[in-house]
Amino acid sequence: MAFLSKAAILAAKDKKMVEVTVPEWLDEKGEPGVVNLRVLTGTERDRFESEFVGGNKSVDMVRAKLVAKCLCDADGNRLFTEQEIPALGEKSAAVLDRLFSECMKLNRFTKEDVEDLAGNS
């Protein structure tokens, strides 16, 4: 087994994406919609986590924030900007919670990570 070079590491295609059906969100034909969710980069995850640690223990819009960071187009580009997160937060709590759970699994957040973010540990 060969050791990887810096160039090989930086060129690696390691950003997994999954499709999730959202029956509540219909497409143009009135059929259940499908969305792409992507893995966060290391920097994105660190920034997301930093919003909920330290003196700021608020979990305000935590579901919408994570889902917005993970929802993407077929090329892995985010669909929602930071400014659009409140609008996404107005969607169904049941749908956001389901997508949030998928984002958590995809990004390997553990129960302990969530407790730490919420300040419950």
Locate the domains of the chain by residue range: 14-118
Residues 6+ apart with CB under 8 A from 119: 52, 53, 57
pLDDT in the model for residue 63: 94
- The reported pTM is 0.84
Structure token pair of residue 57? 């223990």
For residue 96, give the nearest of 57, 72, 65, 118 by alpha carbon: 65
Length of the chain: 121
For residue 62, give the nearest of 20, 110, 104 by alpha carbon: 104
Q: Is the pLDDT of residue 9 over 70?
A: yes
Distance of alpha carbon 43 from alpha carbon 47, whole angstroms: 6
pLDDT in the model for residue 49: 86
pLDDT tens-place string over residues 70-117: 999 999 999 999 999 999 999 999 999 999 999 999 999 877 766 666
DSSP, collapsed to helix, strand or coil, labels residue 32 as strand
What CATH architecture does domain 14-118 belong to? 2-Layer Sandwich (3.30)
